[in-house]
Chain A
Amino acid sequence: MNIDIKKEQEKAQENVKKQGLRVLVCAGTGCVANGALDIIKKFEKLGATVSTLTGQDKMTIVPTGCQGFCEQGVMIHLSDQNITYVRVKEEDVEEIYESHIKNNKTVERLLYIEPKTNEAKKRTEDINFYAKQTRNVLSNCGHISAESLEESVSARGYEALAKVLKENNPDAVIKEVEDSGLRGRGGGGFPTGRKWRFTAANKGGKSYVICNGDEGDPGAFMDGSLMEGDPHRLLEGMAIAAFAIGSDEGYIYVRAEYPLSVKRLRKAIADAEKAGFLGKNIMGTDFSFDLHIKEGAGAFVCGEETALIASIEGERGMPKPKPPFPANKGLFGRPTLINNVETFANVPGVMLNGAKWFSSFGTENSKGTKTFALTGEVNNTGLIEVPMGMTLREIVFDIGGGLRGGKKFKAVQIGGPSGGCLTEEHLDMPLDYDNLIKAGAMVGSGGLVVMNENTCMVEIARFFMNFIQNESCGKCVPCREGTKQMLKILERIVAGEGEMEDLDRIEELAIAVKDGSLCGLGKTAPNPILSTLKYFRDEYIAHIRDKKCPAGVCTAMKTIKIKEDLCKGCTKCTKTCPVGAISGTVKLPHVIDQSKCIKCEACLSACPFKAIVKE
């Protein structure tokens, strides 16, 4: 079918206008967990057609993708006055409806309060969390319905694909991507255009396009948010890639833990096929592109491209030596282009606005913007997008609003188990691919976990090594056995049984694993150890020599005690203790049975008199 995208766009925009007052309710994974679906139901119950003072005769409830500010969920954005309400609960719906929608009166108590100035912020863009961001890839995420093709089209969805098909010059597409300087957003940072060119060189015969949506790094959820918030942008990016390299079939590999992404992608693919934007003879041209979804089954190593390909083929997801590179011999032995979700999602923007526009963001060698998942002990957790080269200080303290509870900043773990930690000395370093490698970390997929003075860096190293050791596929001996031994040593140290020679042993092992492993998982596995050893060696020494955990985390080195003089015998702690280790008579001081205590600290927060302390 012949499609005039401009006409489709106008039609879609008309229809969106007809929706009247748009009530944008965040329905990302986080907000759904906070009860977004109940809020949507409640709104719908109150009636879809109402009179409002703003002259609209109708309101429409729009479930959107992640609006980003997860900490403040559920978020609701009202289009008429450009107001964002935060921390909305089901019971607030009626008030929003009566006050704002019917009587045009802002519900002040649901506005966001800037913690530093105590100022209520009405408009989204005035909130500090958003003010410093540049949302290019996420421009639609949270602004359009996550399940409507029409809304995507109204926001320029598939315009880039239409343009590319009309110009009908695959080589020019690759050239534009090359010129843009776009690099792989999955971690490695390989130039995307070059990857496309390599694959396109194998033209003729079957080839595949794969999207790597196996976002396995614990603490990262950007790709998941993109897939569930603006799925059509990803589909469009993949279709453009397929056209450029001459492929007619593709796969999206989504990790098992993202059921909402799978659901929305399935709907998006079906809708796009029906509209003639995917499938046979797209937009009436000779170009066809069939897209399938493959669900992962919970294996971190499948984020590695050759392992991912093996998994799509129905095998154990074990990496293979390169060469042959997937560009030459990939899925089912055919040339295959494999890019990350965010990389593909950047493509429509590049094609619409040009390489020059794209490269106007970022630094010398890292162009464009990057999404990050900002989590951990920071005030404003959420999904953010900033130009490459922004400093960590701006991200943590301006966008993130500083540390929770006024605690002291200690480190940021970036790039998950393959990455490393950045400390105070890196706060003013521009974040880009090359600077991070120099600092012993990497962009990885983009998880930023903020840690404060109460985080034990040795325990964090143990945590990551435990993760990696579980996820090592077992193919390469250094990775399989080395990670196990490194974990053993770390477990010894956090248990207070380490010796100084352990530090040399672990460093030696780390280098052996790095050098002796085939794939990225093994090659980068020692990074968390090496970077914590580099920046927090004193903490390791404190654990080994002084048998002390400076952060007070490691259970072997702490005791939970009840201060007799402060305990009022209220029995709250006995009810909280999961193992029944606390006993005592009402109104008399209680005691903890140290042989039963698992040092979970649940009683610490339960005690209203601060009578329970850890030593």
Chain B
Amino acid sequence: MVAQSTAKTDFAKVEEIIQSYGAKKSNLIAILQKVQEVFRYLPEDAMIYIGTKIEGLSPATVYGVATFYKQFSLEPKGKYEVKVCDGTACHVRGSMPILNTVRAKLNIKPGQLTTEDGLFSLEIVSCLGACGLSPVVVINGKVHPKMTSDAVKIVLDTILQREGVDKK
């Protein structure tokens, strides 16, 4: 587990988020999205807090919703969220070699979300709507078009350099 997950959750912030959307059951997904944006994941105690605060919800239902949708993560994501698209168009044009390169480069095993140092998280997503430029890799919202194994290495190297991390 990464260090942030044991840190204390800022409940005042969670409360502020709930209030900004309105403490209504139908706003649950939007509230969870905002909480994840702020904390980079859904801390367990934040989910319990939301489940207790909003009428008609329980911690269990919040947990149910959080685990149903792929967007939500119960463990912290990295500072850089790498998404390798494996939609049909990207798959046909070779997204798998790119995924393998990213895994090898960042030393992330299949099933692992975030690197030990918390710098990167890796997800496989299906279709980001940039199929005309397949295969694509998205890092923190920026779409990198027409990727190859070499190109994605350069992209990652640039980030590693910026972060002052020395990785072969």
Contact = CB atoms under 8 A, between A and B. Distances in A.
Contacts of A579: 100, 104
B132 A375 contact: yes
Contacts of B26: 312-314, 332
Given A221-B131, A313-B26, A375-B132, A298 B92 contact: no
B114 interface: no
Contact of B91 (A298, A318, A463, A578): A463
Contact of A29 (B61, B91, B130): B130
A348 to B, nearest CB: 23
Contacts of B64: 316
Contact of A218 (B69, B87, B144, B148): B87
B88 A413 contact: yes
Interface in B127-155: 127-134, 136, 141-145, 148-150, 153
A257 B27 CA distance: 19
Using C-beta atoms within 8 Å of the partner chain, give the interface range for chain A.
Answer: 35 or more
A295 to B, nearest CB: 7
Interface string A189-204: 0000000000000000
Contacts of A296: 69, 71
Interface stretch (B1-9, B11-19, B28-36, B157-165): B28-36
B148 A605 contact: yes
A606 B150 contact: yes
Nearest to A299: B69
Contact of B72 (A220, A297, A467): A297
Given A376-B93, A467-B126, A297 B87 contact: no
B38 interface: no
Q: Among B86, B90, B105, B128, which residue has the most Cβ atoms of chain A within 10 A? A: B128
B21 to A, nearest CB: 11
B-side binding surface: helix, strand, loop or mixed?
helix
Contacts of A225: 129
A313 B28 CA distance: 8
Contact of A32 (B69, B127, B143): B143
A576 B149 contact: yes
A295 B68 CA distance: 15
Contacts of B88: 218-219, 375-376, 413, 416, 447, 449, 463-464
A507 B65 CA distance: 34
Contacts of B101: 578, 600, 602
Contacts of A598: 100
Contact of A73 (B28, B32, B104, B133): B133
A314 B141 CA distance: 25
A176 interface: no
A381 B127 CA distance: 15
Contacts of B48: none
Interface in B81-95: 86-94
Contact of A377 (B28, B92, B96, B148): B92
Contacts of A605: 148
Q: Among A30, A70, A332, which residue has the most Cβ atoms of chain B within 10 A? A: A30
A563 interface: no
Contacts of A215: 129
B70 interface: yes
B109 interface: no
Interface string B53-75: 00000000100110011111000
Contacts of B71: 256, 296-298
A33 B144 contact: yes
Given A257-B125, A576-B149, A598-B100, A33 B92 contact: no
B130 A295 contact: no
Contacts of A316: 64-65, 68
A494 B112 CA distance: 24
Interface residues of B, number: 53
A257 B127 contact: yes
Contacts of A256: 33, 71
Given A316-B68, A375-B89, A579-B104, A295 B97 contact: no
Interface in A219-246: 219-221, 224-225
Contacts of A318: 68
A71 B145 CA distance: 11
A211 interface: no
A377 B65 CA distance: 38
A308 to B, nearest CB: 12
Interface in A250-286: 256-259
Contacts of B92: 376-377, 449, 451, 455, 460
Contacts of A578: 97, 100-101, 103-105, 149, 153
A34 interface: yes
Contact of B68 (A299, A375, A413): A299
B149 A377 contact: no
Contacts of A216: 126-127
Contacts of B134: 375-376, 381
Q: Which 7 A-B pairs have the closest CB atoms?
A: A70-B132, A218-B87, A33-B143, A297-B69, A219-B88, A298-B70, A375-B89
Interface of B: 24-30, 32-33, 61, 64-65, 68-72, 86-94, 96-97, 100-101, 103-105, 125-134, 136, 141-145, 148-150, 153
Given A73-B133, A217-B127, A381-B131, 6 more contacts: A218-B127, A297-B70, A317-B69, A375-B89, A375-B132, A602-B148
20 contacts: A71-B132, A216-B126, A219-B88, A257-B129, A294-B29, A299-B69, A313-B25, A314-B25, A314-B65, A315-B65, A375-B88, A381-B131, A381-B134, A382-B132, A447-B88, A451-B92, A460-B92, A463-B91, A578-B101, A602-B97
